[in-house]
Amino acid sequence: MSIFDIIGPVMVGPSSSHTAGAVRIGYICYKLMGEPVINADIGLYGSFLATGAGHGTDKALVAGLLGMLPDDIRVPDSFKIADQIGMRYKFQEAHLTQAHPNTAVLGLTGKSGRNLEVVAESVGGGRIHIRKIDGLDANFAGDYPTIIIHNTDEPGHIASMTEVLRKFNINIATMQLYRACPGGMAVTVIECDQEVPDEALKILNSEKGILKVTYLSLE
C-alpha cells in the first residue's frame, strides 16, 4: 500500500472516484485509441449517473479523452476545449446489470475512423478497471503497457503471441484469457514489463486468426 492509497491521488477534485477516476478512464481510452478522439458517446451507470454532474464526472471523462491527466488544471474546462477543437460528445444512461456503481460505457470514434467501445469502472482512490473492450471481457487497470488481442479461439494462438514477445525480449507481467464460447471469439490481455515496439505489434496483427490488436502505451 502506498501513501496515495491513504490520502488519494494528486488531482483536480472534488472526488477521487467520480473525478480523478473518471479522468483516468477517459485517458486510458484515449491511449487505447492511439489517435485523437473526434466523437464520444458516453453512457453513465449507477452513482456516475446519479451524482456525476455534481462531481464533474462528465467533464472529467471528456478531459481524459482529450489526453489530460487527473492533476491537469484544465479539467473543469474540458467541454470548452473539446468544443474548440471540434470533438463531439454526448451523455446518456448506460443500461447495465450487476455493474460497479461507478461505471462508464464509452463508444469512441477516432480521427482515422477507428471505432472502440470500452466499459470501465472507477473503484476508488483514482484507480480504475477496464472491464470490456469491443464487447468482450477484459480486466486490467492500465498500470502496465498492455496488449489486447482479439482472436479466434483456436489452438496455437497463445504460443504464437508469446513467441513474438520473446523475440523482442518483452517480459510478460500477467496474461488473461477470455472467450465468448468454445471455438468462437476470444480476447487475450497481456500486461508487459516494457513498452512493446511497433514492429512487434505489426507482426502480432498479421498473424493468422488475429482479428484486432489494441495497445496501451504508457509513454
> Which CATH topology does 146-216 take?
Alpha-Beta Plaits (3.30.70)
Query: What's the whole-number mean pLDDT along residues 168-196?
Result: 93
Give, in order, the Cα–Cα distances in Å from 41 to each of 51, 55, 116.
19, 19, 11
Residue at 146: amino acid letter: T
Question: Distance (Å, rounded) from C-alpha 143 to C-alpha 189?
Answer: 13
Q: Which candidate, 48, 45, 26, places its Cα nearest to that of 37?
A: 26
Percentage with pLDDT > 90 across the chain: 72
C-beta of residue 24 within 8 angstroms of C-beta of residue 103: no
Asked whether residue 14 carries a pLDDT value surpassing 70, the answer given is: no
Query: What's the whole-number mean pLDDT along residues 80-93?
Result: 97
As a whole number, the mean pLDDT across the chain is 89
**CATH 3.40.140.10 matches 3-133:** no
Query: Model pTM?
Result: 0.84
- Segments making up each domain of the chain, as ranges: 3-133, 146-216
pLDDT in tens, 121-138: 998 878 899 999 998 888
pLDDT in tens, 140-158: 999 999 999 999 999 999 9
For residue 18, the tally of other CB atoms under 10 A from its CB is 21
- Position 170 scores a pLDDT of 97
